[in-house]
Amino acid sequence: MRCRSFLPQRKCPGLGGASRRVIRCSEGDYYQHGWREDLVSGAKHQLDGLQQSVGTKAEQLIVAGDVPHTVCAQAEELRADVLVIGRSSESGLLGRLRTNAYAIIRGAHCPVISV
């Protein structure tokens, strides 16, 4: 399970000097040796490719935990003015992002834009 917050500079020129951060949250605890490192490495590689494809260099935060709670906590810790989240209309495991999106919208301390 993953959730991303992303504001590419070239798509949002009116943001000027606003800082942009990408938050990737993977649900669950990873106790088996090496799983967490593999998860972080894979997520970083994927985010690097995503940022390269849209031409931005946002700070990356890769965290694990309950997706809505963790994303909201990170946004609050970073004192975010707005949180932009992507969601999926797919069913199954990825379809849970709809539930996560709703929980993030309800729990965030700042406005949330869901795309």
Per-residue confidence (pLDDT) for residue 32, from 0 to 100? 64
What is the overall mean pLDDT for the chain? 75
Per-residue confidence (pLDDT) for residue 16, from 0 to 100? 56
Cα separation, 34 vs 14, whole angstroms: 42
This prediction's pTM: 0.66
CATH (one of 3.40.50.620, 3.40.50.10490, 1.10.287.3510, 3.40.50.1100) for 19-114:
3.40.50.620
Per-residue confidence (pLDDT) for residue 103, from 0 to 100? 93
Average pLDDT over residues 29-53: 78
Per-residue confidence (pLDDT) for residue 33, from 0 to 100? 63
pLDDT in tens, 71-104: 999 999 999 999 988 866 655 555 556 788 899 9
Per-residue confidence (pLDDT) for residue 69, from 0 to 100? 93
Per-residue confidence (pLDDT) for residue 31, from 0 to 100? 57
Domain locations in the chain as residue ranges: 19-114
Q: Which among 25, 81, 84, 21 has a CA at the least distance from the CA of 57?
A: 21
Which of the residue ranges 14-18, 50-54, 64-68, 110-114 would you say has the lowest mean pLDDT? 14-18
**Do residues 59 and 20 make contact, with C-beta atoms less than 8 angstroms apart?**
yes
